[in-house]
Amino acid sequence: MKKNLRDAIKDRRTYYQLQNTSPVSDEDIQSIIEHILLYAPSSFNSQSARMVLLLKENHTKMWEITKEELKKVSKSEEAFKATEEKVNTAFASGYGTILFFEDHSIIKGLQSNFPNMVDKFAQWSEHSSAIVQVLTWIGLESVGFGASLQHYNPLIDDAVKKEWNLSQDWQLVAQMPFGMPVGEPSEKTHIPLEERLIVVE
C-alpha cells in the first residue's frame, strides 16, 4: 500500500499501539530514510541531520535502555510499572525505531565561519531536524506504518551513544518507534483555517 502525498500528510498521526510487523522490506525502510537524508533542506546546506535505524534486537535494546534509565528516576515502583507498560505496548512492541540526531561538529564549524550569525545556527539546526522528522513520519505513513515521536533525551543519551558507539558530537533530538498500527488514533480537531491563514493577492 502506497499513498499519495496529500493522503500521507492527512493520515500521518500518532499511533500508540503498534505491532511488530512490516508492510515493506527492511531495504525499503532504509531507502525512505536515505532519500530524506539526501533531499531534506538544511540551512547553508549543512546536512547536519544524522539518523540511526534500529531493527530487530537493536530496536528491542533501545527500549530496554529507556526503561532502565526511567526506572532510575521513577518516584515509585508503582509509577514505573505504568511507564513500563506504556513503553512495552506503544514503542517496544513495534517493528523498529529511528533515532534522530544533529551533528554539533557541523554546527560549531558554521558558527566559527560565520561569527555574525553565531546565535542562529543552533536554532536553524532545530528547524532542519524538524523537517527530517516530519518527512520521515510522512514517508513511513505512505507505505502503511504507524509511528509516534518521542523525546526521552537527554535521559537516555549517554547509554544510547555507548550502546551503538556513536560520536559524542551527535546530539540526540528525538526517537520514532514505528510498526503496523493497531486500532485507530485519537480524534484530531482543527482550528478553523480562516484563523490560521491570510491570503494576500
Residue 201 falls within a domain, yes or no?
A: no
CA distance 172 to 156: 9
pLDDT band at 1 (very low <50, low <70, confident <90, very high): low
C-alpha cell at 21: 510487523
* Cα–Cα dist 196/125, whole Å: 26
pTM of the complete model? 0.95
Whether residue 61 lies inside any domain: the answer is yes
Give residue 14's domain range: 5-195
Q: Report how far residue 118's alpha carbon sits from residue 70's, in angstroms, rounded to the nearest whole number.
A: 35
Question: Has residue 146 been placed in a domain?
Answer: yes
pLDDT score recorded for residue 117: 93
Q: 10 Å Cβ neighbour count for 122?
A: 15
Domain total in the chain? 1
Residue 32 has a pLDDT of 97
Is 165 part of any domain? yes
Averaged pLDDT score across all residues of the chain: 96
User: Sign of dihedral through CA atoms 155, 125, 103, 18?
Assistant: positive
Q: pLDDT digits over 114-161, tens only?
A: 999 999 999 999 999 999 999 999 999 999 999 999 999 999 999 999
Do residues 42 and 128 make contact, with C-beta atoms less than 8 angstroms apart? Answer: yes
Q: Could you tell me if residue 118 is inside a domain?
A: yes
200 falls within a domain:
no
pLDDT of residue 116: 93
- Residue 26 forms part of a structural domain: yes
Residue 178 has pLDDT above 90, yes or no: yes
Q: DSSP letters along the chain, please?
A: ----HHHHHHH--B---EES--SS-HHHHHHHHHHHHHH---GGG---EEEEEEETHHHHHHHHHHHHHHHHH-S-HHHHHHHHHHIIIIIITSSEEEEEEEEHHHHHHHHHH-GGGTTTHHHHHHHHHHHHHHHHHHHHHHTT-EE--B--TTTTHHHHHHHTT--TTEEEEEEEEEEEE-S-PPP-----GGGT-----
For the segment 30-69, what is each residue's pLDDT rounded down to a tens digit?
A: 999 999 999 999 999 999 999 999 999 999 999 999 999 9
> The domain that contains 33 carries what CATH number?
3.40.109.10
